[in-house]
Amino acid sequence: MMINLYLYMLVIVFMLGGLVFVSNRKHLLISLLSLEFIMLNLFLFLFYFLNNMNSETFFLMMFLVFSVCEGALGLSILVSMIRTHGNNYFQSFNSLLC
């Protein structure tokens, strides 16, 4: 019973993270934070799934490496955007000028 409740909670939290990602399109930082929230939720889901299957958790280390690379790439884009445009609003960023 408790296992199903935990799974439902992970699915609801994942959906809420996706909802925040879709609804807030004004700032780049909010979008990056919601993506990191979704990645953390996926990590917890994978940890739960692999522990229940009595499987190796080496895949979790690879998942963490890729999520850290994704976070570093997003932060580098954010810093580059702030240096060139002065803020992180999507409205001031025009892709035709690049």
- Give the relative orientation of helices 28-52 and 58-85 as an angle to the nearest 10 degrees: 180
**Domains, the chain, ranges and CATH?**
2-85 (1.10.287.3510)
Rounded alpha-carbon distances, angstroms, from residue 58 to 4, 55, 65, 69: 25, 9, 11, 17
Share of the chain above pLDDT 70, in %: 87
How do the residues of the chain divide into helix, strand and coil, expressed in percent and rounded to 5? 75, 0, 20
User: With 70 as the cut, is the pLDDT of residue 10 above it?
Assistant: yes
Prediction pTM value: 0.78
pLDDT in tens, 15-41: 998 898 888 777 788 888 888 999 999
**What 3-state class would DSSP assign to 27?**
strand
Rounded alpha-carbon distances, angstroms, from residue 35 to 41, 55, 60, 94: 10, 27, 18, 22
